[in-house]
Structure 1
Amino acid sequence: MLRPFRNQIRATLVAATALATAAVVTTGVVIAENSTPEVKAVSNSQESPRLYVALGSSYAAGPGARSLVIGPCLRTKNNYPNQVAETLGMKLIDATCSGATTRNILDVPQRAFGGRPQIDEVPADADVITITTGGNDLGYVSRLILSGCGNVLPEFLKKTPIRSCRLGKDPFPEPQRSAYLEVERSMVAVIEAVRLRAPNAKILLVDYPPVVEPGKPTCARLPLLPDQVAQTVRIFNGLADATARAAQTTGVTLVEASRAGAQHTVCSATPWLTGFSPPVPYHPSEAGKKGVAELVVDALRPSRAQHANTRSGA
């Protein structure tokens, strides 16, 4: 049943090996110079631009094959924070980092981030702060990748350029209810700590676009069995619900990529996420970065603050 998946991924991996090798060489030069958050001023106005700080994991950092990757955190120049800053003419401190958990934002240093938590980069005069987090706390994407490895690539586990496939093919156990409650508590703690550091900032909690919608067929880009699809939906819904509760508790604005992205799943005609392919499976595509950026911009523009895919937690 999964032979079509095998054939497509086999061809993709051969072509991607050279790309993955080149990426290592390229980023090896950049890493030494870019271990700190990227600071970018994009306003042409004579007035001081508003200061925007982006916090979060790879869904905010935006790693991808077509984009210039900056440093060990794998930030890209066209991730949604950069696009928001460019559109609204804000000065950006991009503190996002691939692999980050909520604790890496709050109080646990991350090696890729220079051995310090992201919150250290939040200045008191920040005007806007976005936070995208929680997926790595639950092993959400790692589980998806490992499921794909087990389904279609058993003979390639030792040589595939999809790094996670080399870690084994058994996905993590499904999170229990306590795990979602812990993620919610951690998000609340992050928001409260950010608010203490930047009391006048507008804080937006930006959730994740979905990989798959319940009841929809899979495709070669999503080599999951029916029970794995059902599990993926459960975990995603649990994460989205925890994020919404954290926004409600703290009164920050929730930007619902989970809702807007429902029409842009991996197997849709206009996906916001990459499929099961190197170098970064199941992460925002070029269209996905643009789509989430537009949602954030909508939430920040006063006349559009009540956009259908955003809501205030207050």
Structure 2
Amino acid sequence: MVALGSSFAAGAGITPIIDRKANRSAGNYPHLVAASIGAKLTDVTVSGATTKTILREPQRLGLRRLPPQMQSFAPDADVVTLTAGGNDLRYLGTLVSVAYGSWLEARPATRVLGRRLRAAAVASPPTQREVDAAAAGLVSIVEAIRERARSARILLVNYLTVVGPATAPSRAAPFTADELASFRRIADQLKQAFVIAESATDAELVDVAAISETHGLGSQDPWVQGFAPRSAREAALFHPTPAGMRAVASAVVDHFHSRP
């Protein structure tokens, strides 16, 4: 099994971290899936990855550069998982920037700075052209996988819901109603990119976004980390918690066994 993707696959912030450069956890869904199906895992997921850095461009991490994930692809792969596209659409970066802007805005000394940060973060939402480009990036990765592993099952695993239908402004979600609506639109655009990629390839979509709609921020059982002090975090801000990773792994395993 080979795992490709960004932080929602890498398990950013979930202990134990086994690769600090990549912010990759041994508790991420690829590790859980591999253990469940008895597969030898090659996990090259990297937090912050885009479809371009998976396919062909080195990824810059501070002063270091990591090679494209496809360079480490095992040609004898039987199963490949792919979670990417969120960073292409600036999804998590926007969430984090607005949250910290809200936090700064609540303090008199940094109120103006916070207001500016918040406004700048939502000033340029993803366009349809960017959505199509993210989808094309996913398609290109699937095609590259297929060239190297002709019989592999390729699973497109989309993103857990962060802002659910019932998410309201709160300490864990320090956003206005308009900002929440903006995040829902970006999440819908990201889901659209995966649907486009599935329809254009022979890859299979594991729709974890759909199964997690009632597990967003503010729900009784959230599968993603809300805005919280570092000491209270189970995962990186607005990323899957250990419970979220277990839910994703369960969905992938169920899908794997449902289509032999």
Q: Is the TM value for this pair above 0.5?
A: yes
Partner of 2:233: none
Tell me, yes or no, if structure 1 residue 110 matches structure 2 residue 59: yes
Q: Match for 2:88 among 137, 143, 155?
A: 137
Pairwise CA distance, 1:245: 1.2
Change (3 A) 1:270 1:109: same
- Give the number of the structure whose alpha-carbon radius of gyration is greater: 1
Matched residues, percent identical?
A: 37
- The residue identity in structure 2 corresponding to 1:171 is A
Q: Match for 1:120 among 56, 71, 79?
A: 71
> CA separation in 1, counterparts of 2:73 and 2:134?
21
Pairwise CA distance, 1:242: 1.1
1:79-138 per-position Cα deviation (integer Å, ceiling 9, x unaligned): 000000111111000000000000011000113485310011112211000000000001
- The residue identity in structure 2 corresponding to 1:267 is G
**Structure 1: stretches of 5+ with no match in the other structure:** 1-51, 159-164, 307-314
Secondary structure of 1:254's aligned partner? strand
**What aligned pairs does 1:181-200 form with structure 2 within 5 A after superposition?**
181-200=132-151
> CA separation in 2, counterparts of 1:89 and 1:139?
35
Greater mean deviation of Cα atoms: 204-213 or 272-281: 272-281
Secondary structure of 1:153's aligned partner? helix
Secondary structure of 1:111's aligned partner? strand
Tell me, yes or no, if structure 1 residue 171 matches structure 2 residue 121: yes
1:35-92 per-position Cα deviation (integer Å, ceiling 9, x unaligned): xxxxxxxxxxxxxxxxx00000000000225433423001011100000011111100
- The residue identity in structure 1 corresponding to 2:121 is P
Contact 2:55 2:68 in 1 (8 A): yes
| TM-score normalised by length of structure 1 | 0.74
- The residue identity in structure 2 corresponding to 1:77 is A
Number of paired residues? Answer: 246
- The residue identity in structure 2 corresponding to 1:54 is A
> CA separation in 1, counterparts of 2:158 and 2:167?
21
> CA separation in 2, counterparts of 1:53 and 1:270?
30
Q: Match for 2:98 among 131, 134, 147?
A: 147
> CA separation in 1, counterparts of 2:14 and 2:31?
17
1:257-306 per-position Cα deviation (integer Å, ceiling 9, x unaligned): 110111110111111100012552100001100000001111111xx239
> CA separation in 2, counterparts of 1:68 and 1:194?
27
Contact 2:167 2:217 in 1 (8 A): no
Contact 1:157 1:168 in 2 (8 A): no
CA RMSD of aligned residues (A): 2.1
- The residue identity in structure 1 corresponding to 2:55 is L
1:135-159 per-position Cα deviation (integer Å, ceiling 9, x unaligned): 000110110111111212244999x
Partner of 1:294: 250
| TM-score normalised by length of structure 2 | 0.88
Contact 1:214 1:230 in 2 (8 A): no
**Structure 2: stretches of 5+ with no match in the other structure:** 231-235
Secondary structure of 1:203's aligned partner? strand
Tell me, yes or no, if structure 1 residue 201 matches structure 2 residue 152: yes
